[in-house]
A and B are shown apart, each in its own frame.
Chain A
Amino acid sequence: MVKQNGEIAVEMKHITKKFGNLAANNDINLKIYKGQVHCLLGENGAGKSTLMNVLTGLYKADCGEIEINGQPANIHSPKDAIGYGIGMVHQHFRLVKPLTVLENIILGSPKVGFWLNNKAAREEIMELTDRYDLHIDLDAKVESLSVGEQQRTEIIKQMYRGANIMILDEPTAVLTPEEAEKLFVFLRQTASAGKTIIFISHKLREIMSVGDKVTIMRKGQIVGAKDVKDTSVEDLAGLMIEGTISEVKKQSVEKDGAEVLRLTDIYTLHDDSGNVNLENINLCLNEGEICGIAGVSGNGQRELAEVVSGLRFCDKGEIIVGQKVMTNQCTRKFIQAGVSHIPEDRLGTGLAAGLSIIENGILKEYKSKPISVHGLINYKVAKKYTEEIIEQYKVKAENLNRPISALSGGNLQRMIIGREINGDPKILVAAQPTRGIDIAGVKMVHSMIFDQKAKGVAVLFISEDLDEIMEVCDTLAVMYQGHLSQKVRPSETTIEEIGLRMGGALC
């Protein structure tokens, strides 16, 4: 099945790209064969996306050469890359939302004439979508489409523009399991039709199921290249992560603690941004329970997190924290009742990007003694308070007076978690706490959450990663369009069943 001696579609030689002092790509050499699905594996920040941005002309490499189909290629802009038949489906879709699907597909294409009402383009696209079974309403506005349909639009767009080498950056991150399965079938089919696919991912199982070859990157360098059939998940994981990280074992607390949170019939009405709202949410959490909320993002998880942490009023229903009815109390009351919140938007909601690390450290405690006395902040005490968080949760920060935006993603997350669990909470709402951080960071977040569980804290754990939820949580429920399914134990369900609920096929 693997075409070992096929033609080389892309060859990258000695590619180096630096951002300041950081070498995002350091002397990369890569060969990609025609008609194969070539996977690029690596943690966040390993340099996969940077390398592909160099290939598509979005970034300019500091040095190195690129050959396409054996010929040297000068790629200085995305336009050049398109000329060589290279198309990229970005992780964050490059679609213009207020425009229609058709307009997005023909955007920038030299095939389209001056006037837009062009029958030839429409027919050619219809022919493409028929051939590859990628059906979509061409006149729908992109903003009204589901994420899977938006991805399909991206793929059709690249094909219409004549892409023979298609790069997909973390394409399954936003898909339900069924949608991902469909995508894999499509990719295999396209590869056997002679197109070249570059598939960027950090999910090992996906690579094993879809790839022909895999190149592993770590810290801007290539650390391994394998045929997928000659390797294993363990092998790849070992190459991807330096050393092995000790497995965090979760203590299984089977006895049920006292109830600390109860949501009864919660409704929230439409807000102006047209988000999915909560309908008839019922949920209760016990001491020492980690309850996972699964679902594709944008189905009401953020609203749920906001309701539980007092950031959003509900229009109907009742929230009980501990023994107290807390419905529509202000956020500070929720904090005082012991609710901590790790928001999904770290720099927007979790931290104030322009303020110093110290100021961010005391954001929740600045009103109380000894940090402030008579409305004046004692910066010495504040500094000590922040230093404790930093030391205890291993935040890498040199100068505490610098703006917090100078910290890296993983350190920002440690900082928020540290601040939120420092005050001995009773309930911890963790919204996508591991999104966008590397595997070592994920393990750290998990162990911090297990520590809280051991202390008897009830954790509401919202994540899009099903494997993570199955691994971490004691109980789980699925959100779909504002509805929350019954809470079950992971042992009582299957990935398939959850997948169906996430896609709305099961209620």
Chain B
Amino acid sequence: MPSSSPMSPARRRFLTDTARMAGGCAVAGLGLAYITSDARALPAEALRPPGALPEDDFLSACIRCGLCVRDCPYDTLKLAELGMDGPATGTPFFTAREIACEMCEDIPCVAACPTGALDKSLTNIDDAKMGTAVLVDQENCLNFLGLRCDVCYRVCPVIDEAITLEVRHNDRSGHHAIFAPTVAADRCTGCGICEKSCVLPEAAIKVLPIRLARATSADHYRKGWEEQAEKGGPVLDGIIDLPDRLPGPGTDNLAAPGGYEPAFKLPGAGQ
């Protein structure tokens, strides 16, 4: 066949081979993309090491070398094994209830990371955000039952900041107190020592990924009381102050004796 014919055999073969190869690769690529997307679902109980980038970025940065695992002095970190652990195979994680993060001051796992999947800008371990502790079960928490367990509070490395005991009245007994363990999410590092130490067979306080543990505040809400406190007076000038309907003397609420003083008084504003 002359080479000037519309479709020489060599050209035909080249085009067929290329099309076959491209088709095969498209199928292989789709399969691979499917597996990678499947591997992106991080289970809630699997926590990433301190300084880990957000999960999507983490999977483009972590080369799964295991150096963070090797340098973890408490054997907290593990590499996920195929089919055994939830996270993407070969990526580092820890399970708080098994071995929690001990929050080393020199953060050796972050120092060991060669790629920056664990962000070196984390220099103070107290700033870590591996997750947020949430007291998930008040019905079984011993402190909420009126006992003084206090273990999660006592073991917290950021005690009195990340976990505080809030005293409230014990309505069940009528004359005792409840020391409610209360997490301040902005101070909690997610180390998981509270979850690890909870004395119940299944922990009443658990470290959850921040996406599950926290709401986000709506941008359009303004906390008037904060703005007032900042300004030391009403946010708007010349506002007419109407009588506050508070329980107590001088109000028409006769149900409750006593009463509260208003938080502040407007100059010249009467009762």
Q: Do A and B come from one complex?
A: no
